[in-house]
Amino acid sequence: RKRLRIVKGAARGLSHLYEELPMLTVPHGHLKSSNVLLDGTFQPALSDYALVPVLTATHAAQVMMAYKAPECVGSHGKPSRKSDVWSLGILTLEVLTGKFPACRQGRQGTSDLAGWVNSVITEERTGEVFDEDMSGGKGNEEEMLKLLQVALTCCEADIDKRLDLKSALAGIEEIREPEPESSSTLTGEGESKS
């Protein structure tokens, strides 16, 4: 529940920035887990946004490497509105996997978090993707798989195939919160016992 609340809140916050800062090519430009601040109820607030105009290319490359969209890599990188969508996808994968999105070693060599998740799914080891600390309430697995699919589509390397923010937000909003696991069990006579 908390993780889904964080992802939904971050996506809504990003959407709000897009509405409030339409003149910027990349309204956030610096979306990463440390820039998602949580209150006592795990409601997120985005920080460090709209900095792309004041960041040098070198500084941006240093601080955003793990979250940087493929089109932004290199000295001639060209960020776009879909660059923030990539970062939202990486953030969502980080929340689902519990893994920092830096490059990691896998069976196919070194890859980013999205590449690692894709390789695990290709090898039909999807169960290894999700953080072990995530609770598996009733219907939770199906919803987690839906959120995983949205995140991977946000991380599509081909910018033309990558979701736009409106579609990403719609996909995330469709994810249902898991039903809480019941603390009571049924006895043989159909009575509830806590």
pLDDT, average across residues 132-143? 73
Q: Which pLDDT score is estimated for 8?
A: 95
Q: Which pLDDT score is estimated for 164?
A: 95
Asked if 28 contacts 50 with a C-beta cutoff of 8 angstroms, the reply is yes
Strand partners, 46: 36
Strand partners, 185: 193
Average pLDDT score, the chain: 78
Residue 165 has which token pair? 């923010």
Q: Which pLDDT score is estimated for 154?
A: 96
pLDDT, average across residues 32-54? 80
Q: Which pLDDT score is estimated for 188?
A: 45
Please, what is the end-to-end C-alpha distance for the chain in angstroms?
23
Q: Which pLDDT score is estimated for 51?
A: 58
CATH architecture of 2-176: Orthogonal Bundle (1.10)
User: What is the full DSSP assignment across 40-87?
Assistant: TT--EEE-S-S-GGGS-HHHHHHHHGGG--GGG-STT----HHHHHHH
Q: Which pLDDT score is estimated for 9?
A: 93
| Amino acid at the residue 3 | R
Q: Would you kindly state where each structural domain of the chain is located, as residue ranges?
A: 2-176
Place of tokens 């776009």: 80
pLDDT, average across residues 111-138? 81
3-state secondary structure of 110: strand
Among residues 17, 14, 19, the alpha carbon closest in space to that of 91 is found at 14
Q: Give dist(CA 129, CA 118) in Å, integer.
A: 9
Question: Between these two residues, 147 and 188, which has the higher pLDDT value?
Answer: 147
Residue 158 has which token pair? 């081909």
Q: Which pLDDT score is estimated for 113?
A: 87
User: Which of 29-33, 124-128, 164-168, 178-182 has the least mean pLDDT?
Assistant: 178-182
pLDDT-derived band at 156, boundaries 50, 70, 90: very high
